[in-house]
Amino acid sequence: MTNLKAILFDVDGTLSHTEDAHRAAFNDTFQAEGLDWHWDHDLYRRLLSVTGGRERIRFFIDTKHPNLKKNEGEQGLGDFVSRLHRDKTRRYGDTVASGRVRFRSGVARLIGEARSNGLRLAIATTTGRANVEKLLSENTDTRTPFDDQNIFEVIGASESAAKKKPAPDVYLSVLQQLMLPPEACIAIEDSHNGLRAALGAGIPTVITTSPYTEDDDFSGARAVVNRLGESNRPFRILHGDPLNKTCVDLELLRHWHSQNG
C-alpha cells in the first residue's frame, strides 16, 4: 500500500461555494450587455455539466440562441463570447475581493492539519489561475491555521490543460509537476465531472457535495460527505466509513485512501 503524500483540491464548490458568485457575475454581465438572459439556480445547475465559463456561455448560445451564430458568424461570435467572459471574470474577482466568498466549513482546518503533518498540497481546477489566486489571497490570513497563499505547491488551472474536466488532463499535469504517482494522492472534488477527471487520472477521490451537485452520480468515490465539517458543525456521511468521526480529518482521509477502490 502506498502512503498518502498529497491532497489535491478542486476549487469551485470544493474549496468554496463559489458558484453563486460566478452565477451572479454572469447575470450582471448579461444585464450590462443589454441581454435579457438570466441564469437561475436550476438552469445554472444544468449548465455546470459544461466545464469552463467561456465554454458554458458558448453552449448556452448554441442551444438557446442559435441565431446569434448566424448573425455574428463564427469569428464574431467567438469575440463576443470572449468579451462576455472577460467582463464576467472581472466582476467575479471584484466579488471575491470584497471578502464575501469564503472557504467552506472544514477546509482551512484540513489544510492546516495536512501542512503540519508534512503532506503536500495542490489544486486541480477548470477555473482560471487568476480566480484561484484571488480566492486564496482573500482566505489566507491570521484567522486561519495558515497565512501563506503559496501553501499550494502546484496550481493546476484552466491554463494547465488542453481539455477540461471530465478529461483527466489537469490532474495528469498536477501529478507530473508533483512527480508523484496517482496512488500517493487523494483528490477532493464536488462534482461528477470532477470525480470522472480524478478517477481518469487514477487518483482516489472524496466528494464534498454542493447545492449545485448534490444529485450528481458519485459512483467510484471512496467517500461522499456534505461538507468536510468542524467539531461544532459535523459532516453528514452519504457514502463511506466515517470511523465514528464528526468531520473529515487527516486520519479519516488516510483511512479512505487506504481502501480498495
Is 169 among the residues known to form the active site?
no
Taking each helix axis from N to C end, the angle separating 192-200 and 169-178, rounded to the nearest 10 degrees, works out to 50
User: Cα torsion for 220, 222, 225, 231, to the nearest 10°?
Assistant: -170
H, E, C per residue of 38-52: CCCHHHHHHHCCCCC
Is 190 among the residues known to form the active site?
no
Alpha carbon distance 39, 47 (integer Å): 9
Residue 58's SS3 state is helix
The answer to whether the CB of 258 falls within 8 A of the CB of 245 is no
The C-alpha cell that represents 99 in the structure block:
471578502
- Ordered DSSP codes for 149-170: GGG-SEEE-GGG-SS-TTSSHH
- The CA-based angle 187-143-150, given to 5 degrees, is 50
Is the bond leading into 166 cis (omega within 30 degrees of zero)? yes
Which one-letter DSSP state was computed for residue 223? E
Alpha carbon distance 85, 59 (integer Å): 13
Alpha carbon distance 9, 11 (integer Å): 6
- Catalytic residue positions, numbered: 10, 12
